[in-house]
Structure 1
Amino acid sequence: MTESSTRDADHGRPVSGGHALAEMLKICGAGPMFGMAGFQLLPFYEGVRALGMEHILVNDERTGAFAADAYARLTGRPGICDGTLGPGATNLVTALVESLNAGVPVIALTGDTHRGHSWRNMTQEARQVEILRPAVKELIRVEAVERIPELVRRAYTVATSGRPGPVVVDVPEDVAHAEHAFAAGDFHADLATTRVPARRTRPDASDVDRAAELLARARRPLILAGGGVHLSGAHDALLRLAEGAGIPVAHTLSGKGAIPCGHELSAGLFGRFSRYANELIESSDCLLVVGCKLGEIATRRYTLPAPGTPLIHLDIVAEEIGRWARTPIGLWGDARAGLSDLATALEPSAPSDDRAAYLLEVRRRRAAWARDARARYESDEVPIDMGRLIGELNRTMPEDGVLVADGGFASHWAGLLYDTKRAGRGFVADRGFASIGYGLPGALGAALAVRGTGAPVVSITGDGGLNMTVGDLETARRAGVAFTLVVVNNAASGYVKALQHAVYGAGHYQSADLAETDYAELAGSFGCHGHRVEHPDELRPALLKAMAARDAPSVVDVVVTRDPGRMLPGTDNRTLTLQPGDRPA
């Protein structure tokens, strides 16, 4: 508790509900907050000012919630955002669903109507509670000002426990403006729930033993790592298990960095686009799934793994185990705790000679893929090949760098070709909802999360993604953060145009083209640095110059191929399910 609030409480001087809300967030260690005020939450904003907290005005509430999401992914602390009554609250929905699906702790404050006037057609009134409730893990409605400290603690507990997720704290106008003489003891935090994971649970010991026995017998085991590895901080435990038992590790888009991409046991991305991990899954005789929901993209539209493949699933949410794939062994618990227990159970067992031959095969597959991929990484094509762009990022990003990838093909290209250099969340992609428009706000939140460390933040977004949030370049410049925003400029909604090309053939494009725009010039008008890149030899100098700028964000506008047949890193498996009669003659 701050000195001023303690004094007020000791003397019984009333403070507003909004001030109490700010006070509790400060006690819980809230970092930078993002939002746009309205009358309902004015006392909260005044509390933020009085307490010297950091709050960043955004130009769209979705930007604030996306920035809070990225901040939370990198710090483990709930990101904080707010929206006022009506449109402010409903603008949060898309970003909150991203956090819900991805298991990211976010606390969103929403102002609501004065309860004495509700349903009298108040300005901007909407059924926002009903709209927001399915978009979050829990919606907490504050009905009494004196309960604010208790309910903020509750919000943190829900956001950080089990599978993390977003929580809405809905505050009616009269509650925010009301005053109450809080007691000094009202203001305290439960430190166990101010970051993820709040509390760790262990899988049943007998289930762990069964899983260890199955892994020990396997000749071709494989670990499939999802974003839950990051949420649990299970990197060291995963590496201990993989190295000790000699088990390769493949990852989802959200799981990149579960182990370093350069590690000899890394099998890279699996699912819709894959280096060679899909082939390993198809031939595996035991799969250990960790912190992964086995959704559409990860399973290549539910064709992986093959029916009958022995499956062990470790997840913090019991309901995810066996959702659609037959799972003989389910391990319900925290990823780090479960992996540690598995590693301990497996330590007496040495990998067999068959396992050694398998690992040699994995190394050969890795070397073969690297040889085949070299042409993409080193392409001299003009317009620029996406593979060359990712190759330059691999060469220029330091070990502690953070790459943010917007939804759409930016995340698929980076997920397939980008290599993190150490374990940890060095790659941030909005794969919970895969909404376009995450690139800029994600960079803002990530840059604030690593502020002071010197770690560079680079974000890849499409031109369509930047068009959705370009107004918040002003927000980023005003916030005083520096990051590099790489715009993949193909003058199109690239993924959609590529799919139209694959399904209907050349020339069958509808509502997929954008106007040619110089985003470097646009960046300059926002007071940011702008670099236009049209030749591959210009990529590295532009990236280095942008990453060295520390006084404002930098936009690197990269002109890439306009050929819709080459806009994706591979064949999208969805197009393979179409029958010949589904295509135009």
Structure 2
Amino acid sequence: MNASSTPAQAPAERQTLNMSAGEAIARIIKAFNGGPMFGMGGFQVLPFYDATRRLEMPHHLIHDERNAVFVADAYAKVSGRVGLADATVGPGATNLATGLAEALNAGTPMVCVIGNTHRDHSWKNMTQEIRQVDALRPLCKELIRIESIRRVPELMRRAFAVATTGRPGPVVVDVPEDLMHDTYDFPLSDFEVNPAYEMAPALRSRPDAESVLRAAGLLARARRPIILAGGGVHLSRAAETLSAFARSTNVPVAHTLTGKGAIPCIDPLSAGLFGRYDRIANKLIDESDVILVVGCKLGEIATKRYTVPAPGKTVIHLDIVAEEFGRTLEPDVMLWGDAKLGLDDLLAALGERAESMRQRHAGYAAEIPQRMEKWREEVADKLYSNDKPISVARILTEINKVLPGDGYLVADGGFAAHWAGLLFDTKEAGRRFVPDRGFASIGYGLPGAIGVALAAPGRPVLSLTGDSGFCMVLGDLETAKRLNLDFTVIVINNAASGYVKALQHLVYGAGSYTSSDLNEVNFAKVAQSMGCTGIRVENPDEIESVLRQALSTRGPVVLDMVVTRDPAKMLPGVDSRAAVIKKGDRIA
């Protein structure tokens, strides 16, 4: 056939490519520049797995699907990109539940693909069959069930859009076995995506101008204003903006566990953690007259079981989710919109009054580092304790000394997050502290470290976890070793489910412990048996040198820190729930 008789190339919208639904799913993920994906395969998702191989997409086997979601969660929290996980039908899908709850409550952008039964045989007692769609629907921002193969690209695009807009969250895409294996001539144009949905927040909205002006007027007249920063600051990537706002007006900033880094902890305006555990922040809140809440849900721990702030305060609440307004306290001004844009608009509305505030609050601002220094002096015996077994406070002191400003500290959901939330000091604005406080499940420390190491290659990564939480997930040390990831897991080895034992001690008294003790385990030897570096630490004077050694060691490192066995010393302070019980009040 000569050139003149060659048929013209079909327009792009009419060009097609025959492929399985599994490949179509993989191609959409690749079009969004999807990062590493973790899962455990099965027959229902084989075409998807085969496609990731042929398309050279980063996909990795993990030993527990819950851990796959935890990895995706930490990866997304640090990178801002969509976290990715998958599972096969039944137990694979239901194993995602705890991780999905974390991502939903924390506002983590995520897409999880799950296989389901063959539609011709559903509800005939197929192997591993369960009503997984019904089980998972409350645990995700949206659950998309694909029923038509030609709609695969469309609905996968929707999954990324939903995951990254508004308050981000996890989207589950449920794909029947027959559809996953079936093929279709897909138009190539179906695989064109909007790059805005690669990261969160994909879209930003501003609070209404009238409310901004009212809020600016209240702040300009305030005598002792304070900012309460939550994890929404990081979801908006607004830490630099909030830090600049605080410095422009000399307004101190206190933070929640997930809001740490909204302003650097070493900044003179940082008042530290507020709520159940605090340094100086709760008293500052009590003394304040105007409170600006930014990206914070004001939940139980942040409010010390709904007692902080005290009634009667003037509150301005800036949040992307309107449903959070008035949930735990009624704000005087509601700023419904993106944290970054809302802060920009507030500063613009203040105009020259911002400089007046900065000058007027100079003395007030100077109190913050003075109070913080006084607090450090009062707790110095704990921060620099030479106790053996080791004090957890001493471990955090050495971490603060060793971890550089661009490093990350992951914290497991229980007491590890509370100790680190109170005592760890970020040196830069931004999310350098990565706890799983959306659902506060233990077992996050190791998979969280994997996710952060993948999101921030070359950066120092430490992870703090308890021995109970580490036992839940230690099989995925093999995964970390297989991937040659560099990070250090610090196991707080107190031979107990420490948080539970400490609460039993507080509520029922010494000796009243039930199902909270563990066998002594040498986790350094466990790590070594799995091909990783393991070091047992029993002397507090060794902590700094061992941390430095770990950070310079290639591959996963486990530091087995033998800490206090005294339940009276396992928490950074008396739990507020125990105080309520001792007053005789009933807790639902």
Please give the TM-score of this superposition, normalised by the length of structure 2.
Answer: 0.96
Equivalent position to 1:461, from 459, 465, 473:
465
CA distance in 2, matches of 1:122, 1:298: 46
In 1, distance between residues paired with 2:501 and 2:477? 27
Offset from partner CA, 1:424-457 (integer Å, 9 cap, x none)? 1100000000000000000011101112xx2111
Matched, 1:394 2:439: no
CA contact (8 A) 1:245 1:346 kept: no
- 1:62 is matched with 66
Query: 1:186–1:361: structure 2 CA closer, same or farther, 3 Å change rule?
Result: same
Map of 1:262 onto structure 2: 266
- Residue in 1 that maps onto 2:230: 226
Shift of 1:200: 0.5
Partner of 1:382: 388
Query: Is 1:237 aligned to 2:238, yes or no?
Result: no
Moved more, 239-248 or 61-70: 239-248
Cα 1:207–1:580, aligned 2, differ >3 Å: closer, same or farther? closer
Match of 1:3 in 2: none
Match of 2:93 among 76, 89, 93: 89
Relative to structure 1, the CA distance from residue 273 to residue 413 in structure 2 (aligned partners, 3 Å threshold; closer, same or farther) is same
SS of equivalent residue, structure 1 residue 556: strand
Q: State the 1:374 CA deviation.
A: 2.5
- Offset from partner CA, 1:127-168 (integer Å, 9 cap, x none): 000000000000001111111111111001100000000000
Alignment of 1:72-471 (within 5 A): 72-349=76-353, 350-351=356-357, 355-451=361-457, 454-471=458-475
Residues 267, 124 of structure 1: CA spacing in aligned structure 2 closer, same or farther, 3 A cutoff? Answer: same
Deviation at 1:364, TM superposition (A): 2.0
CA distance in structure 1 between the partners assigned to 2:359 and 2:490 by the alignment: 47
SS of 1:351's equivalent in the other structure is helix
The 3 A distance-change label for structure 1 pair 521 and 29 is: same
Partner of 2:561: 558
The corresponding residue for 2:45 is 41
**Cα deviation digits, residues 325-376 of structure 1 (max 9, x gap):** 0211000000000000111112311127763332232232112112223222
Measure, in 2, the Cα distance between the counterparts of 1:48 and 1:309: 54
Instruction: Rate the CA distance shift 1:581–1:321 in 2: closer, same or farther, 3 A.
Output: closer
Please identify runs of 4+ aligned residues in structure 1 that moved more than 6 A.
Answer: 6-11
Paired letter, 2:506: A
| 8 Å Cα contact 1:74-1:449 kept in structure 2 | yes
Alpha carbons 2:70, 2:99 under 8 Å: kept: yes
Corresponding residue number in structure 1 for 2:520: 516
Contact 1:17/1:145 (8 A) holds in 2 = yes
C-alpha distance in 2 between matches for 1:407 and 1:7 = 53
Bigger Cα displacement from structure 2, 530-539 vs 541-550: 541-550
Query: CA contact under 8 A between 1:8 and 1:14: conserved in structure 2?
Result: no
Alpha-carbon distance in structure 2 between the residues aligned to 1:582 and 1:228: 33
Alignment deviations for residues 182-238 of structure 1 (CA, whole Å, 9 cap, x no partner): 111111111111101011000001100100000011111000000011110112221
Look up the equivalent residue of 1:221 and give its one-letter code: P
**Structure 2: where are the runs of 5+ without partners?**
1-9
Report the residue type matching 1:405 in the other structure: A
Per-residue deviation, residues 1-58 of structure 1 (Å, max 9, x unmatched): xxxxx99998744100001110110010110000000100000000000000111100
Checking the alignment, whether the CA contact within 8 Å between 2:12 and 2:189 is kept in structure 1 is no
The one of 536, 539, 545 equivalent to 1:535 is 539
Say if 2:495 is the partner of 1:491: yes
Find the aligned partners of 2:75 and 2:359 in 1 and give their Cα distance. Answer: 45
CA distance in structure 2 between the partners assigned to 1:286 and 1:11 by the alignment: 61
Aligned mates of 2:117, 2:522 — CA distance in 1: 43
Question: SS where residue 100 of structure 2 aligns?
Answer: helix
Secondary structure (helix, strand or coil) at the match of 1:578 reads: helix
Tell me, in whole angstroms, the C-alpha distance in 1 between the residues paired with 2:12 and 2:535: 52
| Residues 214, 286 of structure 1: 8 Å contact kept | yes
CA RMSD between the two structures = 1.6
Are 2:508 and 1:504 aligned? yes
Report the Cα distance in structure 2 between the residues aligned to 1:356 and 1:400, rounded to whole angstroms. 30
Instruction: Sort the Cα spacing of 1:268 and 1:581 in 2 relative to 1 into closer, same or farther, 3 A.
Output: closer
Whether 1:568 aligns to 2:547 is no
What's the secondary structure of 1:14's corresponding residue? strand
Count how many residue pairs are aligned between Structure 1 and Structure 2.
575
| 3-state SS, counterpart of residue 80 of structure 1 | strand
What residue ranges of structure 1 are gaps of 5+ in the alignment? 1-5
Matched residue of 1:507: which SS?
Answer: coil
Q: Find the residue that maps to 1:167 and give its secondary structure.
A: strand
1:450 counterpart letter in structure 2: A
| Distance in 1 between residues matched to 2:359 and 2:48, nearest whole Å | 64
Would the aligned equivalents of 1:392 and 1:540 in 2 still touch at CA under 8 Å? yes
Question: Offset of 1:259 from its aligned partner?
Answer: 0.8
Give the Cα separation in 2 of the matches to 1:12 and 1:363.
Answer: 65
Instruction: Please give the secondary structure, in 2, of the residue aligned with 1:181.
Output: strand
Of residues 339-348 and 310-319 in structure 1, the stretch that sits farther from structure 2 once superposed is: 339-348
Paired with 2:99 and 2:55, the residues of 1 have a C-alpha distance of 28
Contact 2:101/2:140 (<8 A) preserved: yes
SS in 2 for 1:562: coil
Cα distance in 2 between the residues matched to 1:218 and 1:335: 21
2:6 paired residue number? none
Summarize deviations over 1:402-432 as a string: whole Å, max 9, x none: 1000011000000000001100110000000
Measure, in 2, the Cα distance between the counterparts of 1:167 and 1:549: 37
Given that 2:249 and 2:358 are in contact with CA atoms closer than 8 Å, whether structure 1 keeps it comes out as: no
- Partners of 1:17 and 1:180 within 8 A in 2: yes
- Tell me the amino acid that sits aligned with residue 556 of structure 1: L
CA distance in 2, matches of 1:369, 1:180: 66
The 2-side partners of 1:219 and 1:47 are apart by: 61
Structure 1 counterpart of 2:7: none
Q: Distance in 1 between matches of 2:523 and 2:439?
A: 26
Distance 2:303 2:45 in 1: 44
Higher deviation after alignment, 261-270 or 537-546: 537-546
Note if contact 1:9-1:182 (Cα within 8 Å) is conserved in structure 2. Answer: no
- Secondary structure of 1:110's aligned partner: strand
Letter in 1 for 2:439: F
1:526 paired to 2:510? no
Percent identical across equivalent pairs? Answer: 58
